[in-house]
Structure 1
């Protein structure tokens, strides 16, 4: 007797409405599954409500300020008859706008889910076993739901220091910054990773005096060293004070309450008007009932998944930051889509992390894809490297761009593009041709022989590829 499976009748419960959850819900619904999505905070999750959308909207305002600061090089001047000084930032208006955009995006996502036929529950869910979720709606109603498959996409929350509890007034985590009505005069940023570097860059461009405290010997310790060096040089030129090899031990208020004082482990103290704590995040897996279903986690609490987003329990999958794979909205969405395809028996292309394109929205931006120069130095890959400064690019000269470069890694002998780094304005856009080359295993000559617009910043990608050409 032949057994057939009706994929269209499958039932799926998704916990979490962030990029991993809502993208998964849309895919599963389009394939005919009965999907229930449970979300407690708002659709889009922290990526839309407190992280990516608001922070990058803030950075957009900072970029405009940066452009205005550099207009003199372009021959643009402000008439003294019409202005009494430099432009300034109305932070209250900036924050109101970014929060409004976040809510609009969240509402758009909810409407998309509703149109797709996804059942939406506003509340929380907890695993009771491998197929059952205990639901508690926001109105207090409780009940149980069963499904063939469960996807966990519960995200993370900011890590806090026991001796530096954010209060939303002068000691803040990154979700609380948007409640500020006035620009911090002196902002101390604790943490030099991606989040800390982005906010340090943004608030510096908005007009704050920024001090960045790094426990490591440089900013962005996990990123390309040449890129980090460019950013540190820019910080130095723009007045950001970086304190390396220093660990924040505590943050307290001054006696009059108008200042915050950061105590360092070596006894030094740093004073400012506000302090941002940006020391990483913690997965929202506590009290999720993982032990009830037998789902395995790492020591840090992240859910362990394979390349198709499946946990050690065949009926339970996970996606997004709670897995610790990559803290990127794009990766969360891809994990969710891959999970649904695998559940539904659709064609599956397992997640390949070495093909992930990532961007750090500092000024200048830093974008990466594929292998790293560190992996080449360690002997993991045998590759040729070329780095070309944007200072030689005619379009960059016209735009008064002073900082940045294009870097390409290609496999020795074969010339296949293995990775790249772009540092410069809109690096998040410029990385795409390199990401495409990595994904499709293109040769450096494929990049070199493709027409680029003259003048353009992408011309440097083609030029760098030409320098990696080897005569046969």
Structure 2
């Protein structure tokens, strides 16, 4: 029986463990934080739980337009909704812990041995685990999977203190609602937290070094989001680079490179991620790392060292839980001789959990504009959708890309409520090389938001 040793318990680790066990391997997972890793304990699950509460606040705020009003005990119209951040964060941490427990239970059911400790390579077929009491355990391996994730990036001039200057992993210890919050960084993480806390009624300033929020996303989508955030009261400082973040008592000062200073009660640093690959014995054992420590892998998750695979954020490939999980599965399918399809990033769907959400899959508008692919494009606003009108939705759109001639759908963007759910039919079309006519030919419910996807596909029909 082959023995697989997995270092790290995040999506890349625990999903690979399930596959390896299913295929008959003996599996040992060496993990420090708990099954689920940062995705479950400090990142995806906690942040999206917080965002779920903020979505409810958004719906409450817009309820009057749908004919719903709130009254106090005296029959007077209520003028505000109170947020109990301590209760919100207690629920966030409880759900994250419960999810980690569920993952551990499933791993144990599959026969996976879990070792609490920090693992490192001691040759291409051996892992040494340093246990909590300082002792070490040596584990022989037929194959090793490194899935150690990444951590929030900080700067010497902007050091978190866990109280008022925070990384995104530290926000769940807040008990009181910030009076004023500055979010530094307008990528996915920064935009999501800025949008969520704005919806919770907090005064938010977003510091963006680029000319628009979410510079890596579809430009039309970014513009819609930025317009909505500004309309709801967010102060967006575009083309403004942070110089330093300092604290004096209860006041945090974010100083910009042009000399301006923004004062607030709290600051969230969303400056990107660095891989957790130091002191793992990787390069000493032939594993090539690149770009600041990310593990170099091919499309079947192999590293440069024979028998050593890697998956997830530590590879820097697309830093998504879904990609980490697929990399881990692919690694085990490959090592254990099962059928395997190499990772295809053009079939990966992703979502930004702002309000509105932004979901994408396949080729992008930027690639079309740059001439990387020839595609026809249709963009259909949600404002004309009957269900959107019923729900008071005015912002958002559906955009589809298809190849001229064949009509095969090669990409799409959805901006709107629950875009993360609406992108799925487009993802299926991209994954299975369906044509716009085939996508349009599938029945949709009337009225429904998904009807706009079929309508956009119909507009791509060519006689």
TM range (shorter): over 0.9
Q: Deviations over 1:164-222 (max 9, x none)?
A: 11011100000100000011110000000000000000000001100000111110001
**1:140, distance to aligned residue in structure 2 (A):** 2.1
Query: Are 1:253 and 2:239 matched, yes or no?
Result: no
Query: Are 1:400 and 2:392 matched, yes or no?
Result: yes
* 2:28 partner SS: strand
* 1:125 partner SS: strand
Q: What is the aligned counterpart of 1:154 among 140, 148, 152?
A: 148
Q: What is the aligned counterpart of 2:276 among 270, 284, 293?
A: 284
C-alpha distance in structure 1 between counterparts of 2:32 and 2:388, whole Å: 46
C-alpha distance in structure 1 between counterparts of 2:89 and 2:256, whole Å: 31
The TM-score, its normalising length taken from structure 2, stands at 0.99
Match of 1:102 in 2: 96
Q: Deviations over 1:418-456 (max 9, x none)?
A: 000000000000000000000000000011111110000
> Is residue 283–residue 289 contact of structure 2 (8 Å, CA) maintained in 1?
no
Q: Deviations over 1:320-356 (max 9, x none)?
A: 0000001100000000000000000000011100100
C-alpha distance in structure 1 between counterparts of 2:100 and 2:148, whole Å: 16
**Mapping 1:327-406, distance limit 5 Å:** 327-406=319-398
Q: What is the aligned counterpart of 2:415 among 400, 423, 436?
A: 423
Q: What is the aligned counterpart of 2:232 among 219, 235, 238?
A: 238
C-alpha distance in structure 2 between counterparts of 1:85 and 1:368, whole Å: 37
Match of 1:463 in 2: 455
Q: Deviations over 1:110-141 (max 9, x none)?
A: 11111100111000111111111111112322
C-alpha distance in structure 2 between counterparts of 1:299 and 1:193, whole Å: 19
Give the unaligned 5+ runs of structure 1. Answer: 1-8
C-alpha distance in structure 2 between counterparts of 1:305 and 1:372, whole Å: 24
* 1:217 partner SS: coil
> Is residue 357–residue 417 contact of structure 2 (8 Å, CA) maintained in 1?
yes
Q: What is the aligned counterpart of 1:294 among 283, 286, 297?
A: 286
C-alpha distance in structure 1 between counterparts of 2:186 and 2:311, whole Å: 26
Q: Identify which range, 78-87 or 449-458, moves more after superposition.
A: 78-87
Q: What is the aligned counterpart of 1:324 among 297, 316, 324?
A: 316
The TM-score, its normalising length taken from structure 1, stands at 0.97
* 1:261 partner SS: strand
Query: Are 1:170 and 2:164 matched, yes or no?
Result: yes
Give the unaligned 5+ runs of structure 2. Answer: none
C-alpha distance in structure 2 between counterparts of 1:407 and 1:112, whole Å: 39
Match of 2:306 in 1: 314
**1:79, distance to aligned residue in structure 2 (A):** 2.2
Query: Are 1:17 and 2:15 matched, yes or no?
Result: no
User: Paired residues, what number?
Assistant: 461
C-alpha distance in structure 2 between counterparts of 1:100 and 1:342, whole Å: 36
Q: Identify which range, 443-452 or 430-439, moves more after superposition.
A: 443-452
C-alpha distance in structure 1 between counterparts of 2:75 and 2:266, whole Å: 33
Query: Are 1:209 and 2:209 matched, yes or no?
Result: no
Query: Are 1:45 and 2:42 matched, yes or no?
Result: no
Q: Identify which range, 58-67 or 297-306, moves more after superposition.
A: 297-306
Match of 1:303 in 2: 295
Q: Identify which range, 285-294 or 388-397, moves more after superposition.
A: 285-294
> Is residue 89–residue 172 contact of structure 2 (8 Å, CA) maintained in 1?
yes
Match of 1:4 in 2: none
C-alpha distance in structure 2 between counterparts of 1:185 and 1:228, whole Å: 27
* 1:395 partner SS: helix
Match of 1:196 in 2: 190
* 1:412 partner SS: coil
Q: What is the aligned counterpart of 2:128 among 112, 127, 134?
A: 134
* 2:412 partner SS: strand
C-alpha distance in structure 1 between counterparts of 2:180 and 2:404, whole Å: 49
Query: Are 1:219 and 2:208 matched, yes or no?
Result: no
Match of 2:259 in 1: 267
Match of 1:28 in 2: 20
**1:82, distance to aligned residue in structure 2 (A):** 4.7
Q: What is the aligned counterpart of 1:433 among 400, 425, 428?
A: 425
When the two chains are superposed, the root-mean-square deviation of aligned CA atoms in Å is 0.8
